[in-house]
Homo-oligomer: A and B are copies of this chain.
Amino acid sequence: MKILIDNPTQQSTPLPARGDSLSSLAICKSHWEDSPYFDGWKEYARNPYHPINNSSGIIQMALAENQLSLDLLENWLYTHPEASIWAEEGVSRFREIASYQDNLGLPACRTAIAMFMEEVGGRKAKFERDRIVLTAGAIAAHEVLTFCLADPGEAFLVPTPYYPGFDRDLKWRTGVELIPVHCSSCNDFQITIPALEAAYQQARARNITVKGLLIINPSNPLGTTMDTSTLRNLLSFVYEKNIHLVCDEIYSGSVFSHPKFTSIAEILATDKISQTDRVHIVYSLYKDLGLPDFQVGIIYSYNDTVVTAARRMSSFSMVSSQTQHLIASMLPDTEFVREYLAENSKRLRKRHEMFVSGLRVAGINCLNSNAGLFCWADLRHLLQSHDQEGEIRLWKIILKEIGLNVSPGSSCHCSEPGWFKFCFANMNDQTVQESLNRIQLFMESKK
């Protein structure tokens, strides 16, 4: 065991913090933003593409945002003044909405979100309103859940490639570790039990307590959905190891072709699993409803203690009641929701096809995918050296010469150099075409 003793003879004691110094969190290495993912964003911010004002600027393809269906939302808003606090129909509710709520969130908002999650999951599982905890955005939902499940120094296994922001979002303030589980292109980056087992055993050998497995389904950055047998295997794994399963399902309503999405909630319901208290879902209205900056994150936990603790922690991250009121008004409109999801899926499929086939013509293949706002492109044949350095060199060429901000696989902890994530739903057709033209020109120059 480790014990503390006083040793007055040694002089290398770190000095006690000066009162005017800042915390280690505030002064830590670039606040975990020292990765190409964040560097690319900063480079883009300095020189953003605009078709007229800055036609040689950088096109933002690292932003997983859905701008394809905003017109559907606009139409709904315009025809539903009662959801506003402005119109005569809504202003009567202003007092109630503006007034101090407890941190549960408006019941009508949570009911509406439960209904929406059921709809997105194909009505295969029920969601209970009172297991929904609202947070100001999906990042907050993930952080709150991490605070609830693990102590500093404890860890989650995370299959690679995974969303680059997790390293900052989940580790910075919680002190929790993420342990990559390496998946490979030989089976299209599917998670295997041997890979999980190896990562788990390595963590144990390093004396690290593994508290859970964190999966993203549909995957960010792969754009693929997990099949039921994989989900069942993962459940068996977490039950065998006595650890938690956190399922990030924030792209579940952004599936645009077969196979369909299966929520972990569906497996729990279908298999009539009784011990569900190790399963937790993170959801949001960021991606599936094109409402990114309205900041509605959701924790759905089957564990009562987690629901209670997370709800209390959500005091640090409350959703504006103005926005809760909008959600509570919009999502129970089942007809609108179904039409929106169907039409949005159609538009995503079309955009995906446009971009992926454009890449194919240029000589670049992508992993087959059926979901998400991005594709996972195989640029291995363009690497000068088949290592991370070669990948970063190519990433810099894409950023600075081709003028596209994309995410290199290494920022997603992908262990095979040469894969890149391209986002395609945060722009109009013309901008997609401009990005494809640039890529084609570049590829031709390589011949």
Contact surface of A with B, Cβ cutoff 8 Å: 1-8, 10-13, 16-27, 31, 33, 45, 63, 65, 67, 70, 73-74, 77-78, 80-81, 83-88, 91, 94-95, 97-102, 136-137, 139-140, 143, 147-151, 154, 168-169, 172-173, 207, 209-212, 241-244, 278, 290-296, 303, 305-306, 308-309, 312-313, 315-323, 326, 426
How many Å lie between the Cα of A174 and that of B442 in the bound state?
A: 50
Interchain CB contact under 8 A, A19 and B86 = no
Q: How many copies does the complex hold?
A: 2
Q: Which of B1, B77, B295 contacts A94 (CB 8 A)?
A: B77
Q: What is the bound-complex CA distance between A218 and B149, given in angstroms?
A: 38
Is the pair A312, B31 in contact by a Cβ cutoff of 8 Å?
yes
Residue of B nearest to A85 (CB): B77
Residues in B neighbouring A173, C-beta threshold 8 A: 147, 173, 313, 316
Contacts of A102 in B (CB 8 A): 45
Q: Which residue of B lies closest to A17 (CB)?
A: B209
Contact check, A318 vs B140: say whether CB atoms are below 8 A apart: yes
- Shortest distance between the CB of A393 and any CB in chain B (Å): 27
| A306 touching B18, Cβ below 8 Å | no
Contacts of A323 in B (CB 8 A): 320, 322-323
Q: Can you list 6 pairs linking A and B with CB atoms under 8 Å apart?
A: A16-B209, A23-B147, A31-B312, A65-B99, A86-B86, A98-B290
Q: Which residue of B lies closest to A311 (CB)?
A: B31
CB distance B7 to A12 under 8 Å?
Answer: no
